[in-house]
Chains A and B, each alone.
Chain A
Amino acid sequence: MKFQIFMFVSVAVLSSCASKPAKDPGATAAGTTAGTATQSEATSMESKILASQEESNLVTEISFSKGVASISGAAKKELSALFTKAKSRGTVDDIKVITWGDREYPSKMDKELSEVQVNLVEKRNDAIKAYFEGIDKDADVEVFSMAMRPGMINKLMSGDDAKIKKSLEASGIPNTDSKGKTASKASKSIVIFTLEQ
């Protein structure tokens, strides 16, 4: 333990000898590290925790451009790769798609985002659903909108919509009233594959 702390302090001190201005903080170290990523590097811990609660580790996150509902080429590649991986592991039971508008999840006060945002999420979900159905017409795709909070009945019945949104909130996603403790989820979709047991 002491040795590890010693090592870290040594490294910390040496590394802090920086005099050059920092480059883009978003730049990734992936290019300089051996090995290849097994999942999208953009897949956050919140997405992984949600997938784990759905008994899956087949999860990814894709991003949309602002105001746009169509899936980018890179995102299609990502989704297709995950679909192939899921099929190689077993029979796909369902695909859960959780999509945000260009704003964060509405707070308890807001309840629902503007009609424009609600429609945008719907279109994004439709695009992802159509994409999967294009690959496999039997794909069972369940979509969830993060432009609105779950309805009272869904909450009372502990429906999937309420369960998923509660889980994401508990893991600290930001909402329209608070910054939250994690990175923004605006303009993103989480896609989770569950396998038949």
Chain B
Amino acid sequence: MKSFKQGPRPLYRKKRFIIPVSLFALLLVARMIAEPIILKNANKFLATFSPEMSFHIDDLDFRFIRGAYGFTGITGKLKENGKEFMNLKDLDVSMAWREIFKGRIVADVVVADLDFSYSQGLKAAADKMTNKGDQKQAKEKLIPFKVERVDIKDSKVTLNDYRGLKEGEKFKITDITGTMTNLTPNEKFPLSFFNVHASVMGSSNVKSTGNLNILAKPPKWDVDGELLNFDLTSANQFLKNKVPLTFTKGKLDVYAEAKSEKGKVEGYIKPFMKNLDIMKSEESFKGIKHWGIEVLTALGNLVLRASDTKSVATKIPFSYDGELKVDSGEALSKAIQHGFEQKLSPGIENRYELE
């Protein structure tokens, strides 16, 4: 009788080979099948969810190793005129692994290379979108998880308010980088944090940071902001549409702080203008305020020419409790103080902060 001695099983028949390979194959097939189906469904929804605007996603990509997926090439258009107002290169949604150890399944979102164009047309369309449920559904469609953190990278916003402005003359905020964290707060750790920095009109930097308590009723927040070295001449095209004055030269620094508690807002703005030269434009005047600006501009230039530093600064405290109140008395007093007695100190004063 012949005896058959059984040799070692080949690797491809071993569990340690079969399981990972099967899993990999399954993921590959799921990816091949699921991606186009999900993408098609999402695009169908995003094209029809609002009568005012529509969105389209070029591609969906599962990023299995990180436990993530990403949408690439998201565009948003106004239905009324077909104008594109948003172009987002990449939206990455990933599992927040650090939160898993705390027993929470939440997501981190990275918005990379967003080009957003704001216009009155967009504002009107957004105002018409009264059904907040649709907006929520659109968010749920793309990100069906609670979001714990949002990162914004290399993004830009253009103010497309006025026709006829050339590309270089439009008001632009570029290189926007920011973070929002702890967006799913709890009683023990109630504050969410946000910060952003960007370049304004390519010449100056704006930075802002703040805290938000969304668990409080009404929500509480504080914010600090700083704009440095803003070239006032770069705002001329924008200003011409608002008031009859332009700047022939001048730099602006602005520091601001505000806080909201129990539905009331209080804060201040501290503008500093250096090497200033104001010029009236030849636009037609629209009432007494424009006439006032005309007179004050002429007077201002006269005085500024006599001044050594050509710098003006003030601190404008404000509050909002149903209506905006500006403490113009203090603004005036600080401005005079800056000129005659003691220079105002540039920078945030760190007076408003959530506890």
Contact = CB atoms under 8 A, between A and B. Distances in A.
B293 A57 contact: no
A63 interface: no
Contacts of A178: none
Nearest to B303: A16
A115 interface: no
B182 A39 contact: no
B335 interface: yes
B332 interface: yes
A6 B353 CA distance: 30
Interface string B294-335: 001101100110111111111110000000001010011011
A12 B290 CA distance: 16
B289 A29 contact: no
Q: Which of A20, A49, A55, A171 is the most central at the interface, judged by chain B CB atoms within 10 Å of its CB?
A: A49
B344 interface: yes
A5 B344 contact: no
A80 interface: no
A10 interface: yes
A90 interface: yes
A38 B309 contact: no
A137 interface: no
Contacts of B2: none
Contact of A55 (B181, B271, B303, B353): B181
B348 interface: yes
A70 interface: no
Interface stretch (A40-48, A127-135, A154-162): A40-48
Interface stretch (B4-12, B47-55, B60-68, B191-199): B191-199
A4 B334 CA distance: 16
A15 B313 contact: yes
A93 B179 CA distance: 21
A13 B331 CA distance: 12
Interface stretch (B20-28, B33-41, B205-213): B205-213
Contacts of B193: 52-53, 55-57
B126 interface: no
Nearest to B330: A33
Nearest to B226: A45
Given A6-B289, A40-B350, 13 more contacts: A6-B292, A8-B271, A9-B296, A11-B335, A14-B332, A18-B309, A45-B209, A49-B207, A52-B179, A52-B195, A53-B195, A90-B189, A171-B197
12 contacts: A11-B316, A16-B311, A27-B342, A37-B351, A38-B352, A39-B353, A41-B347, A52-B209, A53-B195, A56-B193, A172-B205, A181-B228
